[in-house]
Amino acid sequence: MAKLSLVEPKVPSALATLADDFLADCRARGLSVRTVQAYDYPITHIFLPWCTHEGIAEPSQLTAALAGRFTTKLLEDGGKDGPLSRASVRSYVRSVRVFLGWAGGAEGGAATMGASPKLPKAEKRLIDVLSREEMQRMENAAATERDKLIIRLLADCGLRLGELLALRGSDVLEPKRGEFALKVRGKGSRDRLVPLAPALSRRLRRYLSGRHADAGDRIFVALRKGGDGNHAPLTASGAEQAVRVLAKEAGIERRIYPHLFRHSYATEWLRRGGNIISLQRVLGHADLSMIQGVYSHLDSSDDYQAAMRVLMGPE
């Protein structure tokens, strides 16, 4: 009879333990599941295995030279499934930097922290945008007021798709007399007010009144009732399909998706000389880095036109 041998359980490294604590802290702070997953994959499945391969178990062992090799490896060798774009490498490295910053701070409590991997230089890319005329054509192509309002809110408020679908009747506000806004639940459970044109506010209220919707009901629901006799909240895939169909009916042949409206909104804001700090608040970004990185496609002629509007005013 074969003898049973005891196998000592593998003791996780100090870095691996810190990673588990970091992800637990993210969940405890109420970060969205998607955000936690965005941290989990690059840290658990890319960074920690690389540390094991390099013999790094303690935070203090991560020297500047070693940290630089992590970024270089991603750029040259890619990840678990093959080559990575520069944007993906930046995303992975950014997650690792957040983790190491947490580990070396009061939250993580690591006694000594070494270096942190550097972000590779971002690629300059020309992002596609929709013109105001194209967005109007899509709204005109919609057969229902629901779909018309989806297009108009995406076009005029710069919302993320999840933010749009989470809107309720009670989120259509008039915080000051004659000024209208949407209360939007953004990333990290941060609420913000997004300016709303008076005419669009009236349209939303009429739409909800016609549906006999309660204040707590979702604004956007499925067109058909479910088995329980109620209209279920519109899903992300349902909204994405509606946008694709309307783009096709409007004669727009390139790929159109909801987030493209957000890019278009921000681009138009900046081209018209809008305040970048106000844009940051309206879009719900924690800081200006995202706006400065994504919208670097605006050229010097856009800067000139914006300056002339400030100096000379409307013609």
For residue 69, the domain's CATH number is 1.10.150
pLDDT in tens, 151-162: 999 999 999 999
Mean pLDDT of 187-208: 90
Q: 285 and 150, same structural domain? A: yes
* Local confidence band at 312 (pLDDT 50, 70, 90 cut-offs): low
Q: 255 and 143, same structural domain? A: yes
In Å, how far from its chain's centre is CA 96? 18
- 117, two tokens: 């991997």
* Local confidence band at 280 (pLDDT 50, 70, 90 cut-offs): confident
Q: 57 and 166, same structural domain? A: no
- 102, two tokens: 């947490």
- 29, two tokens: 């702070």
Decide if pLDDT at 49 tops 80: yes
Q: 264 and 188, same structural domain? A: yes
Q: 251 and 149, same structural domain? A: yes
Task: Give the angle subtended at the CA of 106 by the CAs of 102 and 112, to the nearest 5°.
Answer: 75
Q: 295 and 231, same structural domain? A: yes
**Would you call 243 exposed, middle or buried from its count of C-beta atoms within 10 A (0-12, 13-18, 19+)?**
buried
Predicted pLDDT at 35? 87
* Local confidence band at 212 (pLDDT 50, 70, 90 cut-offs): confident
Other CB atoms within 10 A of residue 146 CB:
17
* Local confidence band at 1 (pLDDT 50, 70, 90 cut-offs): low
Looking at the domain assignment, is residue 112 inside a domain? no
Q: 302 and 168, same structural domain? A: yes
Q: In what order do the strands lie in the sheet with 191-196?
A: 172-176, 179-185, 191-196
**Rounded Cα gap, residues 5 and 200, in angstroms:** 72
What's the whole-model pTM score?
A: 0.64
Q: 66 and 201, same structural domain? A: no
Q: Which of 40-54, 93-107, 189-203, 238-252 has the lowest mean pLDDT?
A: 93-107
- 233, two tokens: 């909240």
- 96, two tokens: 């690792």
Decide if pLDDT at 315 tops 60: no
Exposed e or buried b per residue across 255-287, where buried means at least 16 C-beta atoms within 10 angstroms of its C-beta: ebebebbbbbbbbbbbbeeeeeeebbebbbbee
Q: 93 and 225, same structural domain? A: no
**Rounded Cα gap, residues 119 and 71, in angstroms:** 7
Other CB atoms within 10 A of residue 114 CB:
18
User: How large a percentage of the chain has pLDDT more than 90?
Assistant: 42
Q: For the chain, how many structural domains are there in total?
A: 2
Looking at the domain assignment, is residue 122 inside a domain? no
What is the domain extent for residue 246?
A: 132-312
Looking at the domain assignment, is residue 127 inside a domain? no
Mean pLDDT of 100-123: 69
Predicted pLDDT at 297? 53
Q: What is the average pLDDT score of the chain?
A: 84
pLDDT in tens, 54-91: 888 888 888 888 888 888 999 988 877 778 888 888 88
- 24, two tokens: 């637990």
Q: 229 and 97, same structural domain? A: no
